[in-house]
Amino acid sequence: MKILSIETTTNFGSVAFLEDGLIKREVFFESDDIAGEIVDKLDVIGNNFDYVVVSIGPGSWTGIRIGISFAKGLVCGDINKIYCVSIFDSLFYSIKDIKVKSICLVPSKKEEFYYSEFKGEFDYEKNFKINKIGAEKLIPLVKTNKYFLIGPGVLNLKEFINIERIKTIKFLWYPRASMNGFVAYEKIRRNIKSLPPEPIYEK
């Protein structure tokens, strides 16, 4: 199975090519010109695929829409070739073998965050529940130090607490196209239906 995976939910984007569950190539970029970067990276990665995997968020309003639009264009209207995952699928998949309690944070608006909780077991058939929480409720929870914190919202906590004192996994602050591809590959193998190609973000 050949998978082209696109990650555009933050300014730290990536494009990856996987074959039979193995990474063949992955390239990264940090840019506000997400569309231009994807075009450039596809020249490196190529476009020979069975599925296009794309993250539907939550995250950057613009980035998510660009990623989905590119996916739809690449499959030339064959929606069955698009497989969608959430940022929580991707980041929690990354720690599934560690089996630690974790909270993934994604900035929403002002002092609010999207968050989801990982309790140590990764269930491919269940989607992680997406919640909203304000900083005033989140900070006391963080200070209990019972959870590892991951996701792009961790850096936003600097406005409220010293993040050097919290449990976190820095290399998991941002999602990667390869991880999106891995979790999609495992779900496709299990005949699990894709999430709809619609953005998860604040209406």
3-state secondary structure of 110: coil
Question: What's the CA gap between 93 and 178, in Å, rounded?
Answer: 11
> What are the structure tokens assigned to 58, written together?
């939550």
Residue 74 lies in a domain: yes
Whether 55 and 100 map to the same domain: the answer is no
Residues 7 and 64 in one domain: yes
Q: Are residues 31 and 96 in the same domain?
A: no
How many angstroms separate the CA atoms of 16 and 53, rounded?
Answer: 9
d(CA 33, CA 199): 19
**Residue 107 and residue 77 in one domain:** no
Confidence of residue 50 (pLDDT cuts 50, 70, 90): very high
CATH code for the domain of 56: 3.30.420.40
pLDDT score, position 166: 84
The single-letter DSSP state of residue 145 is T
Return d(Cα 5, Cα 26) in angstroms, integer: 9
Contact between residue 11 and residue 60 where contact means Cβ atoms under 8 Å apart: yes
Range of the domain at 18: 2-87+175-189
pLDDT digits (tens, 9 = 90+) for 63-98: 999 999 999 999 998 999 999 999 999 999 999 998
Specify whether 115 is located in the same domain as 55: no
| pLDDT band, very low/low/confident/very high, at 47 (cuts 50, 70, 90) | low
Distance between CA atoms of residues 167 and 169, nearest Å: 7
Q: What is the CATH number of the domain that holds 147?
A: 3.30.420
Q: What is the pTM of this model?
A: 0.91
Same-domain check for residues 168 and 179 = no
User: Which two structure tokens, joined as six digits, stand for 138?
Assistant: 């989140």
Residues 49 and 100 in one domain: no
Q: How confident is the model at residue 203 (pLDDT cuts 50, 70, 90)?
A: very low
